Amino acid sequence: LPPKRPLSGPTPPNPAPFSSTPTMKVAAALALLAGSAAAFAPSASRSSASSALSASFENEVGVQVPTGFFDPLNLLEGADQARFDRLRYVELKHGRIAQLAFLGQIVTRNGIHLGGSIDTAGHAFSSYPNGLAALFGPDAIPTAGIFQMLAFIGFLELKVMKDVKGTGEFPGDFRNGFLDFGWGSQSDEWKKSKRSIELNNGRAAMMGILGLMVHEKLGSVVPIVGQL
């Protein structure tokens, strides 16, 4: 009888179905990466459509040097004209409120207040502090007075500060055929210039009133405004 094969000993390697050379490994990894990237890459038609929509807003009022078309949060990504008009309306409204707030800081901190009493108890307007301290803190306006101001603001928002007649030329046009001041007789270039000025002033005022609020909490002294 032939001798039995020993149970122990080296086992012959199985042939590998694929080559394990470094070159083939790199090629396989690149192929996998390319396939996964292609699965998540936007289509060319979708990218071109988004770019076309963004380009349509590059000539709108407010696109100015040095920033040009500035949309760092991509709020207009894939947006239509209605979306742009809504954002422009909100920007204008916030800018107008900020301009009034900044002017109010300058006026009241220079000692100019309304005459008379703010309530039936005989408290003068000048008896309350300026800035945020008029709303928050031990010497703030009473809660009933704040509610009255909020109610008045709500009335303006719902009934006055809007395009009541639907005749506005642009978002934020609240003339309603009443407060025109010769706007209709001016050239398109003049109108664009004035709208650009309002946008710039509103943007600056939004930054300005935010800065005043921060410096008030820090107790700083600001030129023109004074001690905060």
Could you tell me which residue, 134 or 1, shows the higher pLDDT? 134
How many angstroms separate the first and last alpha carbons of the chain?
110
- Beta carbons of 200 and 64 less than 8 angstroms apart: yes
Q: pLDDT for 14-27, tens place per residue? A: 544 444 454 554 45
Q: Give me the pLDDT at residue 35, please.
A: 47
Q: pLDDT for 43-93, tens place per residue? A: 444 444 445 555 578 889 888 888 888 888 999 988 999 999 999 999 999
Residue 49 neighbours by CB under 8 Å, 6+ apart: 78
Residues for the chain: how many in total?
A: 228
Phi-psi region of 226 (alpha: psi -120 to 50; beta: other; left: phi over 0): left
Tell me which DSSP letter residue 180 carries. -
CA distance 198 to 178: 20
Of 154, 178, 155, residue with least CA distance to 165:
178
- Beta carbons of 142 and 119 less than 8 angstroms apart: yes
Query: Is the model's pLDDT at 3 over the cut of 80?
Result: no
Could you tell me which residue, 24 or 205, shows the higher pLDDT? 205
Whole-model pTM?
0.70
Query: Is the model's pLDDT at 37 over the cut of 80?
Result: no
Q: pLDDT for 123-140, tens place per residue? A: 898 999 999 999 998 999
Residue 207 neighbours by CB under 8 Å, 6+ apart: none
- Beta carbons of 106 and 228 less than 8 angstroms apart: no
* ∠ CA 59-172-78, rounded to 5°: 45
Q: Give me the pLDDT at residue 199, please.
A: 94
Residue 50 neighbours by CB under 8 Å, 6+ apart: 77, 78
Bridge-partner residues for 227, per DSSP? 221
Q: Give me the pLDDT at residue 91, please.
A: 94
- Beta carbons of 157 and 174 less than 8 angstroms apart: no
CA distance 79 to 84: 7
Mean pLDDT of 202-212: 95
CA distance 198 to 204: 10
Of 150, 148, 146, 106, residue with least CA distance to 130:
106
Q: pLDDT for 145-195, tens place per residue? A: 889 999 999 999 898 888 877 878 888 888 877 777 888 889 999 999 999
φ, ψ of residue 55 in degrees (nearest 5): -65, -25
Q: Give me the pLDDT at residue 179, please.
A: 75
Q: Give me the pLDDT at residue 59, please.
A: 86
Residue 104 banded pLDDT, cuts 50, 70, 90: very high
* CA 135 from centroid of its chain's CA atoms: 25
Q: Give me the pLDDT at residue 44, please.
A: 45
Q: Give me the pLDDT at residue 201, please.
A: 96
Q: Give me the pLDDT at residue 83, please.
A: 92
